[in-house]
Amino acid sequence: MKPGSLTLRLSLLFVVAVAAVLIIVGVAFNELSRHHFRALDAQALGEKLEAITQIAKESGANPELLKARWHTLLGAHPDLSAVFLKTDGTPFFAEPPQSAVPSLAQATQRDGVWEWEKEGRMFRALTASVSLPTASPPLTAWLVLDVTTHMHFFAMLERWFWGVLLASTVLSAALGWLVAKNGLRPVARVTQTAASMSAGSLKERIPLEPVPDELRALITAFNSMLGRLDDSFMRLSNFSADIAHELRTPISNLRTHTEVILAKKRAPEVYEENLSSNLEELNRLSGIIDGMLFLAKSDNGLIVPEAVELDLRTVISKLFGYYEFLAEDKGIQLQASGNASIFADSVMIDRVVSNLLSNALRYTSSGETIKVSIHDHGGRVELRLENPGPEIVPQHLDRIFDRFYRVDPARREGRECGAGASDCPVLDASAWRHYLVYIPRGPNDLHPHLHAIACPTNLTCRPDSLGTAKPGHTRLGEHETGCHCAG
């Protein structure tokens, strides 16, 4: 058993608890017993003193009769001795006769009773004045009780107590170990189940039925983690397959073109045409690789934004010009309104807005309009992109901005290399933390201050901020961004 094991710690805590309780009970019993015996001794001495006083009253002026009756009273108790002194200190009566006045140099007084030890024996004494029937001055009476038997009793009691405490400690340690071992058995089962998990068994879950209530929260959290791992692993596997698929096509084209061109000698024009085709495929490969490198850099915080003053209307107009022909081919209108200046990284802004426009064009039907509006609210700027499209199922809303997540798990068509892989971390990597996300739950659930942006299945972007405020300028979207594709 390891020193740091939970079983050992629980066993030690059980032993400490039992030992502490036994010690407290033992000390309390010892003190109460001593107090009880002390009270009994004081009561016995008090009763003898009352009897002595009563005999003195009944004996009249006959001192010999008085002494005889005192002798009869005190002689029957071998542990009790008495000394009666006159006012000048001389003894009037002693029982046994050799008894003397005790020395109180090391004595302590408790509740009117003196207590001391001498030569390994323990005594308790009571002193009082005894009046005689004659006109003579009263006597000073000392009643001394030998309580050595009490001291022996308590010594034996202490020996038994420490012996029982030691035995109880050993027994409680064994019982504590058994109890802890049995109590932690569900943890061992959970550990075995967790140890058996692998990439191929992430769909398994630990059952909650035989688990005690104290472990249910842990098991629930662990099962939730397995669900997230399973989902992330599946999406990562699909993403890897997609990347392989995307890379295989241009590489296959390059190899095919090269094999064909090298099969026989050809005219220079043919070589030039094939080299141009190869260059297109190489540019496509370069774009895919650049996107993956950008994703890796953003995940590791290696992207340093270069904030400059930007005119958002100019940015939108430039991107509209880029997507104008694609929009015309699909019969979609692009509409922009508003204007504002911000202080942000131009490359990142271009990537984000371009990605959103691309998604909006992909999922907007012919004859519809994509609207981009810019609103200057004084302290912040809102960039709103709206497009009609299929509504996102509610269970996907909380996961819609997760890396590699797709509402439609089927492999997408097109030339993109994943669920917005190149643009998802753009603004997170900039370390600007001013964006909140709002996703309308339906066509009628629009908040006037929050932002809805398009992309139904191939979600690409969750910016934390698009920019920071510059003196005399406003900050873009302190509370606005999101995704909406309400029909």
Same domain for 138 and 16, yes or no, is yes
CATH number at residue 146: 3.30.450
Give Cα 214 to chain centroid, integer Å: 14
Output the DSSP codes for 255-282.
Answer: HHHHHHHHSS---HHHHHHHHHHHHHHH
For residue 263 the two structure tokens come to: 């099969």
- Kindly state whether residue 444 falls inside one of the protein's structural domains: yes
Question: Considering the domain boundaries, does residue 198 fall inside one?
Answer: no
Residue 163 shares a structural domain with residue 79: yes
Question: What pLDDT is recorded for position 446?
Answer: 31
Is residue 207 domain-resident?
no
Out of 268, 299, 330, a domain closes at 299
Q: Both 249 and 394 in a single domain? A: no
Which residues are 375's β-sheet partners? Answer: 382
- CATH number for the domain spanning 260: value is 1.10.287.130
Q: Single out the residue of 259, 298, 337 nearest to residue 422, CA to CA.
A: 298
131 and 150 together in one domain: yes
Answer yes or no: do 283 and 314 share one domain. no
Q: Mark out the alpha helices in 184-267 (DSSP H runs).
A: 185-195, 213-262
Q: How many CB atoms lie within 10 A of CB 300?
A: 10
- From the centroid of its chain, how far is CA 283? 50
Query: If we measure between CA atoms, which residue out of 298, 394, 306 comes closest to residue 346?
Result: 306
If asked whether residues 292 and 318 sit together in one domain, one would say: no
The pLDDT score that the predictor gives to residue 459 is 30
Indicate whether 243 and 344 sit together in one domain: no
Query: How large is the C-alpha radius of gyration of the chain?
Result: 49
Q: Domain of 366?
A: 307-476
CATH code of the domain in which 460 resides = 3.30.565.10
Distance, CA of 482 to chain centre: 32
Can you give the pLDDT at residue 333? 93
Pure H helices in 345-421: 346-363
Assess if residue 344 is contained within a domain.
yes
Percent helix, strand and coil across the chain, each rounded to 5?
A: 50, 15, 35
Q: Tell me, what's the pLDDT at 110? A: 75
State which amino acid sits at residue 206. Answer: I
Token digits for 7?
């079983």
| Cα diameter, the chain | 162
Rounded to 5 degrees, φ, ψ at 435 are -105, 140
Q: Tell me the CA distances in angstroms from 90 to 77, 87, 93, 94, 143, one per residue in order.
A: 24, 8, 9, 11, 16
Same domain? 34 vs 121: yes
Among candidate residues 159, 174, 189, the one where a domain is terminated = 174
According to the model, what pLDDT value does residue 405 have? Answer: 59
* Assigned domain for 103 exists: no
Q: How many domains does the chain have?
A: 3
* Residues 320 and 465 grouped into a single domain: yes
Shared domain check, 355 and 253:
no
The answer to whether the CB of 290 falls within 8 A of the CB of 454 is no
- Tell me the backbone φ, ψ of residue 152, rounded to 5 degrees: -65, -40
Tokens describing residue 61 = 């002026």
Pairing of strands 475-476, 80-85: unpaired
Q: Is 295 in the same domain as 311? A: no
Place of tokens 């191939």: 458
* Structural contact between residues 61 and 161, judged by C-beta atoms closer than 8 angstroms: no
pLDDT in tens, the chain (487 residues): 455 677 888 888 888 998 999 899 989 988 898 888 888 888 888 888 888 888 888 776 677 888 888 888 887 788 888 888 888 878 888 888 777 777 776 778 777 788 888 878 888 888 888 887 775 788 888 888 888 888 888 889 889 989 988 998 899 889 888 888 888 887 777 788 778 777 777 777 877 777 777 778 888 888 888 888 888 788 778 777 777 877 887 788 888 878 888 888 888 888 888 888 888 888 888 887 887 777 667 766 677 777 788 888 999 999 999 899 889 999 999 999 999 888 888 888 888 888 888 888 888 889 999 999 988 887 778 888 888 877 767 777 666 655 555 666 554 444 444 434 334 333 433 323 233 333 443 433 333 233 333 233 233 333 333 333 333 333 333 333 333 332 2
- Residue 131 C-alpha from the chain's centroid: 79
Same domain, 259 and 321: no
User: Which pTM was predicted?
Assistant: 0.46
**Under 8 Å CB-to-CB from 197, ≥6 apart: which residues?**
204, 226
DSSP 124: E
> Is residue 11 domain-resident?
yes
Rounded to 5 degrees, φ, ψ at 115 are -145, 135
Q: How many helices (H) and strands (E) does the chain have?
A: 9, 12
The answer to whether residues 145 and 113 touch, using CB atoms and an 8 Å cutoff, is no
* Domain final residue pick, 299, 328, 353: 299
Residue 364 carries which DSSP code? S
